[in-house]
Structure 1
Amino acid sequence: MRKKERYDFVISTLEKKFGVMDTELSYTSPFELLIATVLSAQCTDKRVNMVTPSLFRDYPTPEAMALAEPDVIFEYIRSVSYPNSKAKYLVGIGKALTERFAGEVPQTMEELTQLPGVGRKTANVVSAFAFGKQALAVDTHVFRVSRRIGLVPQKCTTPYAVEKELLKNIPSGKISLAHSWILLQGRYTCTARKPKCSKCELKEACRWFEKNHASAEL
């Protein structure tokens, strides 16, 4: 299967499966999505959605977050991964947004990645879902599935390399949606240790399945 055929098959199949959708993180504003995405690093969306309601109730704005102490924020988020570091990030984000961006979440990659705890993946999530931009975040699921299926070559060994390759080949109007589609396929079907190949709609286009079908979960 040629590259374009593989992309066409994967994107059309996932679009039929998932349709138009949002991130699984709960949020009502760009600020809430930014905070939730920072908290979601190496943590499940389900866990993040459990801690953010009380956090956003008591610290609904960057200005409120900027006045908090990290040890207080820690108590709200202690059940997520790396709560000590993330508590400091959240307060730092509140201060940065208040002091440098008039309390508004910036919309450029350069400005977003200047915020504490915000890398390219987080910035792309905010760009795509808070601001409706065609941005593609490469998390562990997108990275794994893209390489496993064969959407990107194995020489793409970093998230940024995978991102650039995907952006070159996914239709421009479906880039942000493709992030969610590939992510969910990786989260629930094309899992890291035991991919559910028998249930996967993409197996006929998957290089990994073609190579390993004899030992795959059939």
Structure 2
Amino acid sequence: MSPKPSIAKNADYHHGNLRNALIEAGRSALMEVSAQDLSLRYLARMVGVSEAAPSRHFAGIDELLATIAASGYRDLAALRVAIRDSEDTALAKAYRMMRVYIEFAQHHNGLFSLMIGPRIAAHQAYPELTEESNRSFGLFSETIEALAIESGWAQSDLKLVTHAAWSMEHGLATLILSNRAPRADTKVAIPKLIDFVVTTLLSAVTAGPDHLQSVIEQCELVQKPVATRTARKRAKA
């Protein structure tokens, strides 16, 4: 059973304060309950207003949840702006960009799950959410691309490099939050796992496209004997 929401007594929500109070109440509630359990009634009780009051600011719970998710992306973007504006090297900035995403997910589990999960079916239906999400990703991709350019990658490969880095940080974050990484039957410290995963990806980026091509060629050489054996078996059949 979901915990009963705390009710703020004698709250003053004039001049638009109710809208912000509902957003903050939603963020707070997500620390205890899932997005599926949130409703306008639940959040209205948390801030101590009538059940009808939230409808003055939000068309429904989906719009409120989208606004809450947008606030999460706004916070993440603020962290990324600080990294972008730092005096760090391109490599250090890329490392921090990837780590901050995973750390944000760890520190704001419920909020992050709302931001990236299926509860909000159509992100593009909410302009504020789309804008804040794109802004956060833009800060990330600009940083990764800067490192890639410095490491000799062609313009045509930059989006590929960015998506590889994004897949790595996002995949690890979701695995950690779902308690699937590290595996229960292994003794791997999460901080060390994060460092290893992030630095491994960045090592590949900084090694450059020539190194990647070398690895691809070596992998193809490993596969050729297998393919040859398969072809021979088919020929005998």
Determine if the TM-score, normalized by the shorter chain, exceeds 0.5: no
> Could you state the TM-score of these two structures normalised by the residue count of structure 2?
0.28
